A and B are shown apart, each in its own frame.
Chain A
């Protein structure tokens, strides 16, 4: 187990480095960063000054190493738009987005696990078909459209929830649903497929032969074995959710990292933009690593080798 963890950790670090390189180069896409930072109508002298101050005149690899060194130490540079250090700005919004991501994931699992189990247990019945139909429909709705629909129903018509902002827990309800529903069909199918396979297993027949109640057979014996790929997918999906929060946060003006990303992109605030991409990528790498480890732990054959 320890060997496995170390190997995975090594790989994760390599990936994180690769991602940092891409994030670094992303900024250079628009051409000369000095011009971009100087803004419109800047004089040549100003551009040169910026170039010298930020070290854009040095070779690229040197710039990368220096940038990486600063970033790792928590110095993300300064936000061009907000005119304040980027790091505290980014981290202050991170919590909101993490909360949203976790809630959305929980919501997705909350609806998909029972549906997936039901679809598998009553395979090929109307329940199964209904669940699959819901899955297909759910995946066809664009999330921004669904978010607008939710606003129409819950804010305008029913007046139960606030349209936008991020003060109270009510502000999180619709964003959670809008972000989470799209992940549900994938989980549902995975659980359904996993359960169908597991329910055919010999040890399920043994459990039935022991006279265990049906709920125990399904949830203790079957689901426990079917859930392993779901854990892996859950971590991966959380990463996607965090990245995909841009749209939802922007629609609901929820003050998180996604919304900050949108603002920074719109206002060409490159340091912030670059570091958000890097931060989310690193979080994703960490999540994948955690899921690999959880996966290994869940399988006693690896845990107790």
Chain B
């Protein structure tokens, strides 16, 4: 795997999520997009939530930020930022926290900035709203952050409009914008996906550097295991609205316990290990419908190790900081046939 880019985290829980569920109203009944998801993120730590499209990872991030669409309902046993309960917070309080203590960056830098206003205006307004202080201070801070995200001639850039910047530059501006008020939590929803491959690496490096520099807690949503390998301290694997495996990046990559995780890892070509011309793994089947009652393990229809008990209930197993939802404590050693099933 590529070189790791992170340092040891300092313990102090920034985000505490327990049994978070999100239902989306549809004409056919509520769609249970996120089901009893729990995780914590500590200061200076990066948690990657990884999963395929539609697994509910983006909705989870929106739920944390209270940015869900109107058709969605959110429930949780606990959802707190630095000890403050976000579930009970008033809209005014939530607004005061957003952009200030908790910030989010999104996938599409091309459309995430308002085309009608300058970069400087959009950077400064966050500071002005949350920190007051006047335009001069805001401008100073904006220039400081543009420098931190690696944008040269920051002063000039302030007067430019979004359409004058490339995708990579825009994403850097988005990151700077998120950091204007020095938040403790940064939620990043696929921040590098829409960018060129070479730029992707730069952005991820930037995020890792900023984190070790500023000590912020980061939740990074992605579908790309390569991203996870680069930047994560902890990983949470999501499938069909649930977290099916969670642990430190090392332990999850080294010994995946959930059949889905194992399937995911076998899909990636590994230089040196995967034979040229050999088959990559796939996971047969499709994600089950999330409407209506869901009992038992949602992966069982696609699982090579499924047993009748899987249809009824699935226990959560732990080993140290590594946890997974499976009937099996340990999967049989990887069979070559599994990696090559069409």
Contact = CB atoms under 8 A, between A and B. Distances in A.
B314 to A, nearest CB: 34
B103 A300 contact: no
A146 B153 CA distance: 61
A201 B174 CA distance: 16
A224 interface: yes
Interface string B97-130: 1111001101010011111110000000110011
Given A208-B98, A300-B115, A202 B108 contact: yes
Given A216-B129, A300-B163, A301-B163, A209 B98 contact: yes
A201 B96 contact: no
Nearest to A227: B116
A301 B163 CA distance: 7
A209 B113 CA distance: 12
Contact of A304 (B97, B99, B164): B164
Interface string A2-15: 00000000000000
Given A211-B130, A300-B163, A206 B113 contact: yes
A203 B99 contact: no
Interface in A139-177: none
Interface in A256-305: 298-301, 304
A212 B177 CA distance: 13
A209 B125 contact: no
B274 to A, nearest CB: 37
A305 to B, nearest CB: 9
Given A225-B115, A225-B116, A209 B99 contact: yes
Contacts of B100: 211
Contacts of B117: 221, 224
Nearest to B107: A202
Contact of A210 (B94, B115, B177): B177
Contacts of A201: 111
Q: How large is the interface on A (under 10, 10 to 19, 20 to 34, 35 or more residues)?
A: 20 to 34
A298 B67 CA distance: 30
B116 A224 contact: yes
B114 A203 contact: yes
Nearest to A301: B163
B95 A212 contact: yes
Contact of B114 (A221, A298, A301): A221
Contact of B99 (A211, A214, A298): A211
Nearest to B187: A209
Given A201-B111, A205-B67, A210 B126 contact: yes
Contacts of B95: 211-214
A207 B190 CA distance: 18
A210 B99 contact: yes
Contacts of A300: 115-116, 161, 163
A211 B126 contact: yes
Interface string A223-249: 011000000000000000000000000
B65 interface: yes
Interface in A187-218: 201-203, 205-214, 216
A304 B129 CA distance: 28
A206 B97 contact: no
Nearest to B100: A211
Given A203-B115, A209-B65, A225-B114, A304 B98 contact: no
8 contacts: A201-B111, A202-B106, A206-B106, A210-B98, A216-B129, A225-B115, A299-B116, A300-B116
Given A202-B112, A211-B100, 8 more contacts: A203-B112, A210-B98, A210-B103, A211-B97, A211-B129, A212-B95, A216-B125, A216-B129
